[in-house]
Amino acid sequence: MSTFPRITLIAAGGSIDSLGADRLDMVEYGQRRQFLPTDEMLARVPELFDIATVEGVTFDRIGVDTMSVDDWCRLHDRITEAVADGADGIVVTHGTNTLEELAWFLHLTLKVTCPVVLVGAMRPASGLSSDGSLNLLNAVRVAAAPESRSRGVLVVMNNQIHEARTVSKTSTTEVQSFSSAVVGPLGLVDMDGQVVFHHRSQYRHTMDSVFRVAAGTPLPRVDIVVSYYGAQPTQIDALVAAGARGIIAAGAGTTGSPVENAALDRAVAAGIVVVQASRVPTGRVTAWHRLAVRGIVASGDHSPWKARVLLMLALTVAVDATEIQKMFLEY
């Protein structure tokens, strides 16, 4: 009987198993909707089986541009089932464009201690010098490592290990795209295959999280508006009329224009939870007095899209801005 860790690979699409028209098709391959079968993706990396017993399963071939929150919940349930069936670790392959949002959602909702690793590729499986095979091998290495337990959901790309809370995609096309600005990656997979961690997150996640989801249970609607020079309140008012339960305001810096702020105040008065975030990639929106007296939550260092995920979940357990502000500080 094998003593290797049991790793369940859940293939959920993306560039990592996409096939282009030829080896130089690095742009239009996504439109072809042709994918490697999961077993063939594994067979391309036989080194996987020297470190783990890997079982591949295929999730729906849904493009990341059409994946819904309910699809996220179904994937959450599939991961939970795999852990209950005895998996020692989980690897999920996924498209890179929204990988950080899915990782953050799972980081906040899964109730597991075993490693859960999300991985993708910046080039298709058919592309010249594709990065997918090595990324996949490193993801399995991390999922199989005992040191990865109880760290929440991890993202492994380009030899680096990132926490779901901090990681962002920073380039549309470059292989070195994923970064955890300011704090840096949690660790790395070294050239000799060793999994090395440098630090651990101090924020709540997975087993310590109050958030629970299940497929078929709708989450509150939360939308994002982005401030820019000359921005008008039209979008904010329209979202309130459309039934949004929450609005993330991605400010130019840490605020919007006077007319945008007035519209956000109207939203708060209508019972909408508003979170002030920033369109700037790094830095904190602090919970200062000016926001608190308006009943607006400060996003801290969460990007607008991660703030949206957190607010959707927060609204399932609280509606008071003060309570939700505490969650933005703890998660």
What CATH number did the domain enclosing 185 receive? 3.40.50.1170
Are 162 and 180 a contacting pair, CB within 8 Å? yes
Give the model's pLDDT for residue 66. 75
Residues 186 and 239 placed together within one structural domain of the fold: no
> Alpha carbon of 292 to those of 145, 156, 282, 283, 296: distances in Å?
43, 37, 22, 19, 6
Please report whether residue 264 resides in a domain. yes
Q: What CATH number is associated with residue 227?
A: 3.40.50.40
- List the one residue out of 199, 169, 201, 208 whose CA is nearest residue 303: 169
Give the model's pLDDT for residue 2. 65
Residues 226 and 198 placed together within one structural domain of the fold: no
Parent domain of 90: 6-208
Cα–Cα distance measured from residue 221 to residue 267, given in angstroms and rounded to the nearest whole number: 14
Give the model's pLDDT for residue 215. 85
Residues 249 and 173 placed together within one structural domain of the fold: no
Residues 22 and 93 placed together within one structural domain of the fold: yes
Tracing tokens 């609607």 back to the chain, one arrives at: 221
Residues 92 and 136 placed together within one structural domain of the fold: yes
Residues 160 and 283 placed together within one structural domain of the fold: no
Answering whether pTM is above 0.75, one says yes
- Helix 234-242 to helix 258-269 angle (10° resolution) is 20
% of the chain with per-residue pLDDT over 70:
98
Give the model's pLDDT for residue 238. 98
Q: What is the pLDDT of residues 275-308, one digit of tens each?
A: 999 999 999 999 999 999 999 999 999 999 999 9
Q: Note the helical H segments in 4-149.
A: 38-43, 69-84, 99-109, 132-144
Sheet with 297-298, side-by-side order of all strands: 222-226, 246-251, 273-278, 297-298
Please report whether residue 121 resides in a domain. yes
Please report whether residue 215 resides in a domain. no
More reliable by pLDDT, 66 or 22 = 22
Cα–Cα distance measured from residue 308 to residue 59, given in angstroms and rounded to the nearest whole number: 24
- List the one residue out of 72, 87, 67, 77 whose CA is nearest residue 14: 67
Please report whether residue 214 resides in a domain. no
Cα–Cα distance measured from residue 312 to residue 307, given in angstroms and rounded to the nearest whole number: 9
What's the DSSP call for residue 246? E
Residues 182 and 250 placed together within one structural domain of the fold: no
Chain centroid, CA 33 distance in Å: 23
Q: How many domains does the chain contain in total?
A: 2
Residues 107 and 193 placed together within one structural domain of the fold: yes
Please report whether residue 285 resides in a domain. yes
Cα 48–Cα 52–Cα 56 angle in degrees, nearest 5: 70
Single out the residue in 208, 243, 271 at which a domain terminates: 208
Residues 278 and 199 placed together within one structural domain of the fold: no
Give the model's pLDDT for residue 63. 67
Q: What is the pLDDT of residues 186-244, one digit of tens each?
A: 999 999 999 999 999 999 999 999 999 988 889 999 999 999 999 999 999 999 999 99
Residues 78 and 227 placed together within one structural domain of the fold: no
- List the one residue out of 188, 184, 202 whose CA is nearest residue 282: 184
Chain centroid, CA 149 distance in Å: 18
Chain centroid, CA 262 distance in Å: 31
Please report whether residue 216 resides in a domain. no
Residues 258 and 182 placed together within one structural domain of the fold: no
